[in-house]
Amino acid sequence: MEDTTTPPSQPELAGEKRKREEGSPDAAVVDAPSVPAASGEDAASGSRHPMWKTSLCSYFRRRGAGAEGCSHGESCRYAHTEEELRPRADGTWDPTSHRAKKLRKVAAEAQEEAEEEVTVDEQSLDKCLVGLPRGWTADRLKAFLQDQGISYATAKKKKGMTVGFVTFESVEQLTHAVQVLKENPSGGKEIKISDANRRSHQKVRAEGPVANGTATENGSSPATPAGETSASEVVASSKKSARDAVTPLALMPYNDQLEHKKHSMAQILKRLTRNARKACPPAIPLPNWIFKSKEIGGLPCKLEGILESPIVDGYRNKCEFSVGYSLEGKKTVGFMLGNFREGVTAVEEPVNCPNVSEISCKYAQMFQDFLQSSSLPLWSRVDNCGFWRQFTVREGRCPAEAVVLQNGESQISEVMLIVQVCSTDVDEALMKEEFDKLSAALIQGATTCSPPLPVTTIVVQDHKGISNAAPADCPLIPLLMPKGNQLEGGAEDKTRIHDHISNLKFSISPTAFFQVNTLAAERLYTLAGDWANLNSDTLLFDVCCGTGTIGLTLAHRVGMVVGIEMNESAVSDAHRNALINDIKNCRFVCGKAEDVIGSLLTEYLGSPQQHIAASQSNSVINDTSKNEDTMNCPENDGENMDSSMEKNDNGENEQPRDRSVDLPTCFGDEDIKGDSVYRVNKEADSNPDEHNEAAGEQNCGEASLINDEPTDATSADSLDHGKTCQDSSSIPNNNVLAASACQFRNVVAIVDPPRVGLHPTVIKALRTHPLIRRLVYISCNPDSLVANAIELCTPTSEKQEKNKGNRGWRSMSAAGLARQRTKSMPNSEPFIPKRAMAVDLFPHTSHCEMVMLFERIGYFSVDTHSVSC
């Protein structure tokens, strides 16, 4: 049986309708659409498409009102006015119509009103006040509540935040507070009250102790309705160990960890290529290394692999243990299970953490046992109050010759224990009594272990700030000092331990930075030195030098080392380390790198403007002399000159030099006559005062450790001394550059910044100085390395743009901010990324060190060897 029903007619095109209208005028009358009032008739007759007139015509909205604005005319299936619009089959309206917008607004208001409803019961007395002024403190909030007649149990607020937290004692207080805040707004703005969630450790402690994941009271399990889950079981199900939080890759084989990290580093390096391409000015062609990146998978340079750690388990020589409460409410010394900004404050013991040594775990357990009987409270990250805050174990290892076993336990010979406290509102006598008990407990625990644990010094750090990251000038209270010390000094000088890298002995103070993986750091520094292409003619700038480990391990390969470090105790350690190892060609300056880098570069190398002007004048002189030589000099003179030329590392011709001199020299007016020769004496066999007077006045950059006498001058004194030397010099200004810079033929910078990367001022100083030809960047955070490399490697235009104060900088990534800063970078020769390699200093974690080599060949065509006095 055939189906006799006719399918619904489809809307016709304007051209087809026009043809029908020409042949049959009556048909045009039948097919003409009716007015919107007849929309119900269209649905009933079924002669129209189901979506007829259910959407607004976009062409009509662009061109004008009415059907005249649409090219389809009356045959258009879309509505041309709000009145003509029909609802869709599901009852909704066109999202762009006024009806739909009005309905969404009503729904949003209803949802907002529903969210404002506050839960009022005995179980939710913790509330959050939203809309408070940013300038209010906790005291101001308490005063406001008292003025409004609101009773409460506790009230907290931090300055700069628009929310505060109030805990009420009863439902009556909460109900009264909700009513008062609705009727009496503050400053014309209504303060809203909403529910607040307690943190995990507070919930468990309020509900009672938890044993094996089940809340108990008097040894009995609580009754839980069938089909429901108790709060304690929810906490137990989401519980993770400290091993999962600290070493997320612990269950992965080590070879797989290396491949995983290598792949991650490659993906991060690709961002450098993409961002440098975006940051390059439109009028300047892209650098060649960006074009060549397509051949190596988008990498800026070849990633040469990853260096594995010699020791995989128990490699950390410094472990910072948090002090707090576990999920069960027990006083615990270990690691936090998450970030505090995510509301996690629970601390779990360092059980089965493969990166922590057994010695550190044992000391953490000793301190945890002591806290169980201590009368002073633990530090609360929520209330920012308490006494015991943090426990740190620092370990010193034997020299490399003594390392035989793969396990690092037998290498540990010295241990420093650091206890961080907050002495605010604590009686001094009680505090001293607790310190005596703590010292006795740790010493007794170390001696009773089998075998006995080493303990060299115990130090207390009194920090009264909010964050556990204490500044370097926090007071240190020594509880135990080593009996024997080779160096004389006060109590602070004796609160140290020693470690060894590359057969050098390093003294480490409590707050000084030292790589946590000693043996892997030795491989890292060797790699950096090999890539830097060091020799006796090299001046090495060690930026963010810490205790001087990089500069001192490479000092025997260079002419001189200049280290920069902001931590005063670390600089003191660097001076001490140089003295211990009898290294005399190093100078360490205390100060922020962004504050002293410019002055130090000018002191040793001269200002960039001097070199640019000198290069321009030399180019003119060379052109003139070349023309004269072409006209007047014999042919064999050119051959002699060519034979005296030498090649540098990049294959460029250098100016001729005296081959009888082993080290770099500087020739003055008298030197040209053969009167004297100046050279840098790395071994300090001769007194620098015996040099020529003119060179002695200009050579203000000698090592601070010379002739076996350490110099304790501050960075400001050294810089002022440099300025005095230059001001009092009798050498003409044109010769100042030669006297200070041409001592060294090779200038290299090695930077090892913290996780945030280099300061923009430091990047600008390194980028704009033409004598720095090679830069080795050691990064513990590859993301910051990419951001700094964008500024170092992106070409700049002659006309630099001024920062216009982009308001979106807070939401920008580090790479985005770097691209913005390149617009204001002075015109200078960019670096070129040459090599990259990952170094695994942190096995079982996702972190990895990255070493990257940057070079530049042109650097404004400045030839350091052509500078003469």
**Identified catalytic residue from 422, 590, 780, 793:** 780
Number of alpha carbons in the 13 Å side-chain half-sphere of residue 521: 22
Cα–Cα distance measured from residue 46 to residue 54, given in angstroms and rounded to the nearest whole number: 15
Nearest Cα residue to 861 out of 613, 615, 606: 615
Cβ(454)–Cβ(415) under 8 Å? Answer: yes
In one-letter notation, the amino acid at residue 667 is F
Cβ(315)–Cβ(355) under 8 Å? Answer: yes
Cβ(141)–Cβ(157) under 8 Å? Answer: yes
Nearest Cα residue to 308 out of 501, 526, 519: 519
Taking each helix axis as running N to C, give the angle between helix 733-741 and helix 593-605, from 0 to 180 degrees, rounded to the nearest 10: 110
State yes or no: is 780 an active-site residue: yes
Cβ(561)–Cβ(554) under 8 Å? Answer: yes
The DSSP code for 57 is: -
- 58: number of Cβ within 10 Å: 11
Core vs surface per residue 636-671: b (16+ CB within 10 A) or e: eeeeeeeeeeeeeeeeeeeeeeeeeeebbbbbbeeb
Instruction: List, in sequence order, the alpha helices (H) in 37-183.
Output: 39-45, 58-63, 98-116, 138-147, 171-183
Three-state secondary structure call for residue 276: helix
Nearest Cα residue to 91 out of 79, 103, 106, 81: 103
Nearest Cα residue to 467 out of 322, 319, 317, 316: 322
Interstrand relation of 457-462 and 412-421 (parallel, antiparallel or unpaired):
parallel
Cα–Cα distance measured from residue 54 to residue 37, given in angstroms and rounded to the nearest whole number: 14
Q: What is the largest CA-CA distance in the chain?
A: 123
Cα–Cα distance measured from residue 167 to residue 187, given in angstroms and rounded to the nearest whole number: 23
Write the CA distances from 314 to 86, 175, 247, 415, 869, integer angstroms: 72, 56, 12, 14, 57
């060190």: which residue's tokens?
849
| Cross-strand pairs, 588 | 563
Residues annotated as part of the active site: 780
